[in-house]
Amino acid sequence: MENEPKLLWWIFFTIPLLISNMQNCAYGEPQVPCYFVFGDSLFDNGNNNNLSTLAKANYTPYGFDFSKGPTGRFSNGNNTADVIGKLLGFDDYIPTFNEAKATKNILRGVNYASGSAGIRNESGLLAVGDVISMDEQLQNHRVIISLITEVLGNKDSAMKHLSKCIYTIDMGNNDYTMNYFLPQLYNTSRQFNVHQYATVLIQQYSQQLKSLYDLGARKVAVAGLLQSGCSPNALATYGTNGSSCVEMINNAVQIFNSKLIPLVTNLNANLPGAKFTYINLYQIDAESTRAFRFTRVACCNLTSTGLCDPSTIPCPDRTQYAFYDSAHPTEARALILGRRAYRVQSLTDAFPVDISLLAQL
């Protein structure tokens, strides 16, 4: 009987999926009316372009294979959020916050993600300059909700609209790589051991996710952290001591990830109508690298910041590289990450459901 609540919860989530897919949106329409994106450089589509920051990717060779050229995506092409958006049925790319405000193109969603941003407000700031932290991204979302309320006429209509949207959130990577593991700039590693730090992060993240729920979000996919210790930047900075990756970073990240499923479970149990789900990006990321010939080196020539050198062209076959620069996936790898987040290949890729099923709830 111990597993009965979990079983009931699973049934609650999945029974609607037994209903015929004929009840989904009409052919050619997205599976949900809107898609909102929060996160860091894995999802950033240009929000950092106007900031005073080193974390920018609005120049070549970024966008080398992208239809619009360099846009601010830390990739040669589509990033993971773009891939998920396409799989959800959105023909057009989700606009950045500034684009959405300027054009009033808000009803189909907004991307708020910011390269180098974190759960903690100070993450990334001392290392690269201005970033849009998770708290600030939520504040930007409040601005958009006000505009949506104006367009739809009243708050009830806005909340009904927002409750049908998909929300994806990728936060926490920079709270490690651009905070905890930068002791020359931050004192968090002296304040907390890795278990304490993960707990502190989860506590703050929990409040942020509850704030998102209070702002109307119901269908929320929370991404686990990647194998940050396997990036070219981590390998060059710390060395591996005989391992294939920097284990102290990966171990710390996994402690944080291990707390996300209980967090998701708690949110669903205590927030009426909440449908949070966990995407196991760490596992997907680990398995995705098997598809590539070059898994620990960058596709582009790097500057001292670890970003691509604007005066050079990238490697000729981007499909063979897992990393485009010292930290960010190529489009080929983003396709794997996005596709498995959308539709699982393994039962442990997501809990309790993947994004394709979340969209149908």
- What is the set of active-site residues? 41, 325, 328
**Cis peptide leading into 70, omega within 30 of 0?**
no
Cβ(171)–Cβ(38) below 8 Å = yes
Which tokens belong to 201? 């992060």
- For residue 4, give every residue at least 6 positions away whose Cβ sits within 8 Å of its Cβ, in sequence order, or none: none
